[in-house]
Protein backbone atom coordinates (compact mmCIF):
# COMPACT_ATOMS: atom_id res chain seq x y z
CA UNK A 1 0.00 0.00 0.00
CA UNK A 2 2.85 2.38 0.86
CA UNK A 3 4.44 1.79 -2.57
CA UNK A 4 1.15 2.66 -4.32
CA UNK A 5 0.90 5.93 -2.43
CA UNK A 6 4.50 6.82 -3.24
CA UNK A 7 3.90 5.83 -6.85
CA UNK A 8 1.04 8.33 -6.92
CA UNK A 9 3.31 10.97 -5.41
CA UNK A 10 5.84 10.39 -8.19
CA UNK A 11 3.07 10.69 -10.78
CA UNK A 12 2.33 14.12 -9.32
CA UNK A 13 6.03 15.04 -9.34
CA UNK A 14 6.30 14.05 -13.02
CA UNK A 15 3.30 16.30 -13.75
CA UNK A 16 4.98 19.20 -11.97
CA UNK A 17 8.21 18.40 -13.84
CA UNK A 18 6.30 18.61 -17.13
CA UNK A 19 4.78 21.94 -16.18
CA UNK A 20 8.25 23.38 -15.56
CA UNK A 21 8.77 23.74 -19.27
CA UNK A 22 10.83 25.91 -21.58
CA UNK A 23 9.67 25.69 -25.22
CA UNK A 24 12.61 25.34 -27.61
CA UNK A 25 10.95 23.87 -30.70
CA UNK A 26 8.91 20.72 -31.03
CA UNK A 27 10.44 19.24 -27.85
CA UNK A 28 10.52 21.49 -24.74
CA UNK A 29 13.00 21.43 -21.87
CA UNK A 30 11.27 19.98 -18.79
CA UNK A 31 12.08 18.27 -15.51
CA UNK A 32 10.05 15.14 -16.34
CA UNK A 33 13.14 13.02 -16.94
CA UNK A 34 14.55 13.92 -13.53
CA UNK A 35 11.44 12.66 -11.70
CA UNK A 36 11.13 9.65 -14.00
CA UNK A 37 14.71 8.66 -13.12
CA UNK A 38 14.00 9.08 -9.41
CA UNK A 39 10.80 7.03 -9.72
CA UNK A 40 12.66 4.23 -11.51
CA UNK A 41 15.57 4.22 -9.05
CA UNK A 42 13.53 4.52 -5.86
CA UNK A 43 10.42 2.53 -6.78
CA UNK A 44 11.90 -0.05 -9.12
CA UNK A 45 10.50 -1.50 -12.30
CA UNK A 46 6.99 -2.26 -11.03
CA UNK A 47 5.96 0.85 -9.12
CA UNK A 48 8.19 3.24 -11.06
CA UNK A 49 6.61 2.08 -14.32
CA UNK A 50 3.15 2.29 -12.73
CA UNK A 51 3.84 5.89 -11.77
CA UNK A 52 4.95 6.87 -15.29
CA UNK A 53 2.17 4.90 -17.00
CA UNK A 54 -0.39 6.65 -14.78
CA UNK A 55 1.09 9.99 -15.82
CA UNK A 56 0.81 9.12 -19.53
CA UNK A 57 -2.75 7.79 -19.12
CA UNK A 58 -3.84 10.94 -17.26
CA UNK A 59 -2.56 12.98 -20.17
CA UNK A 60 -4.13 10.66 -22.74
CA UNK A 61 -7.61 11.16 -21.25
CA UNK A 62 -7.20 14.90 -21.60
CA UNK A 63 -5.89 16.17 -18.29
CA UNK A 64 -3.35 18.97 -18.87
CA UNK A 65 -0.40 17.07 -17.39
CA UNK A 66 1.99 17.14 -20.33
CA UNK A 67 4.50 19.91 -21.09
CA UNK A 68 2.98 23.36 -21.57
CA UNK A 69 -0.20 22.21 -19.78
CA UNK A 70 -1.31 20.07 -22.69
CA UNK A 71 -3.32 16.88 -22.61
CA UNK A 72 -5.19 14.57 -24.94
CA UNK A 73 -4.55 11.52 -27.04
CA UNK A 74 -3.41 13.75 -29.91
CA UNK A 75 -0.23 14.49 -27.91
CA UNK A 76 0.56 10.76 -27.84
CA UNK A 77 0.44 10.62 -31.64
CA UNK A 78 2.15 13.99 -32.09
CA UNK A 79 5.82 14.94 -32.38
CA UNK A 80 6.59 14.24 -28.70
CA UNK A 81 4.53 11.04 -28.42
CA UNK A 82 7.56 8.82 -28.84
CA UNK A 83 9.18 10.36 -25.78
CA UNK A 84 6.06 9.71 -23.70
CA UNK A 85 5.97 6.03 -24.68
CA UNK A 86 9.74 5.95 -24.20
CA UNK A 87 9.23 7.21 -20.65
CA UNK A 88 7.22 4.08 -19.84
CA UNK A 89 9.61 1.57 -21.41
CA UNK A 90 12.69 3.47 -20.24
CA UNK A 91 11.41 3.55 -16.66
CA UNK A 92 10.87 -0.19 -16.69
CA UNK A 93 14.40 -0.81 -18.00
CA UNK A 94 15.99 1.63 -15.54
CA UNK A 95 14.03 0.11 -12.65
CA UNK A 96 14.85 -3.44 -13.73
CA UNK A 97 18.58 -2.75 -14.09
CA UNK A 98 18.93 -0.57 -11.02
CA UNK A 99 17.35 -3.27 -8.85
CA UNK A 100 20.31 -5.54 -9.72
CA UNK A 101 22.96 -3.46 -7.96
CA UNK A 102 22.53 -0.36 -5.88
CA UNK A 103 25.62 1.74 -6.51
CA UNK A 104 26.41 4.93 -8.39
CA UNK A 105 28.04 3.23 -11.36
CA UNK A 106 25.10 0.86 -11.87
CA UNK A 107 22.53 3.64 -11.45
CA UNK A 108 24.29 5.71 -14.08
CA UNK A 109 24.56 2.75 -16.46
CA UNK A 110 20.89 1.84 -16.04
CA UNK A 111 19.93 5.49 -16.49
CA UNK A 112 21.91 5.72 -19.71
CA UNK A 113 20.15 2.58 -20.99
CA UNK A 114 16.76 4.09 -20.14
CA UNK A 115 17.61 7.46 -21.67
CA UNK A 116 18.76 5.61 -24.78
CA UNK A 117 15.30 4.05 -25.09
CA UNK A 118 13.54 7.36 -24.45
CA UNK A 119 15.63 9.19 -27.04
CA UNK A 120 15.42 6.39 -29.61
CA UNK A 121 11.62 6.27 -29.49
CA UNK A 122 11.35 10.04 -29.24
CA UNK A 123 13.58 10.80 -32.20
CA UNK A 124 12.03 7.96 -34.22
CA UNK A 125 8.54 9.47 -33.90
CA UNK A 126 9.78 13.06 -34.23
CA UNK A 127 11.36 12.06 -37.54
CA UNK A 128 7.88 11.52 -39.01
CA UNK A 129 7.06 15.17 -38.29
CA UNK A 130 10.28 16.85 -39.38
CA UNK A 131 10.84 14.41 -42.29
CA UNK A 132 14.59 14.26 -41.77
CA UNK A 133 16.35 12.02 -39.26
CA UNK A 134 19.32 14.39 -39.00
CA UNK A 135 16.95 17.25 -38.15
CA UNK A 136 15.07 15.05 -35.67
CA UNK A 137 18.35 14.29 -33.88
CA UNK A 138 19.31 17.99 -33.94
CA UNK A 139 16.05 19.16 -32.34
CA UNK A 140 15.08 16.11 -30.28
CA UNK A 141 18.38 14.83 -28.90
CA UNK A 142 21.35 17.20 -29.16
CA UNK A 143 19.93 20.09 -27.09
CA UNK A 144 18.79 17.77 -24.30
CA UNK A 145 21.37 15.04 -23.84
CA UNK A 146 23.81 16.90 -21.57
CA UNK A 147 21.06 18.31 -19.41
CA UNK A 148 19.45 14.87 -19.09
CA UNK A 149 22.79 13.26 -18.26
CA UNK A 150 23.21 15.88 -15.54
CA UNK A 151 19.72 15.04 -14.23
CA UNK A 152 20.71 11.35 -14.33
CA UNK A 153 23.81 11.89 -12.17
CA UNK A 154 21.85 14.10 -9.77
CA UNK A 155 19.01 11.54 -9.48
CA UNK A 156 21.58 8.78 -8.90
CA UNK A 157 23.30 10.73 -6.13
CA UNK A 158 19.98 11.61 -4.48
CA UNK A 159 18.91 7.97 -4.64
CA UNK A 160 22.12 6.81 -2.97
CA UNK A 161 21.70 9.42 -0.24
CA UNK A 162 18.06 8.44 0.34
CA UNK A 163 18.98 4.75 0.41
CA UNK A 164 21.64 5.44 3.07
CA UNK A 165 19.02 7.31 5.09
CA UNK A 166 16.70 4.28 4.82
CA UNK A 167 14.09 6.03 2.72
CA UNK A 168 12.00 3.66 0.56
CA UNK A 169 13.96 0.59 1.50
Tell me, yes or no, whether 150 lies in a domain: yes
Residue range 9-56, pLDDT digits in tens:
999 999 999 999 888 777 788 999 999 999 999 999 999 999 999 999
Structural domains of the chain, count: 1
**Residue 135 maps to which CATH number?**
1.10.1760.20
pTM score of the predicted model: 0.94
User: Coil, strand, or helix at residue 62?
Assistant: coil
Tell me, yes or no, whether 68 lies in a domain: yes
Tell me, yes or no, whether 97 lies in a domain: yes
Helix H or strand E encompassing 165: none
Burial of residue 34 (number of CB atoms within 10 Å: 0-12, 13-18, 19+): buried
Q: Cα–Cα distance between 51 and 14 in angstroms, integer?
A: 9
User: Coil, strand, or helix at residue 22?
Assistant: strand
Residue range 87-127, pLDDT digits in tens:
999 999 999 999 988 899 999 999 999 999 999 999 999 99
Cβ–Cβ under 8 Å, residues 8 and 52 = no
Q: Cα–Cα distance between 107 and 64 in angstroms, integer?
A: 31
Amino acid sequence: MKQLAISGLFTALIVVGAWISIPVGPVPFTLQVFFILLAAYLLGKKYGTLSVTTYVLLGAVGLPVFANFKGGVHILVGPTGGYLFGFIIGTFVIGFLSEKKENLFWYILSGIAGLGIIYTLGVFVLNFYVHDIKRAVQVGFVPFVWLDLTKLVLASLITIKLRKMGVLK
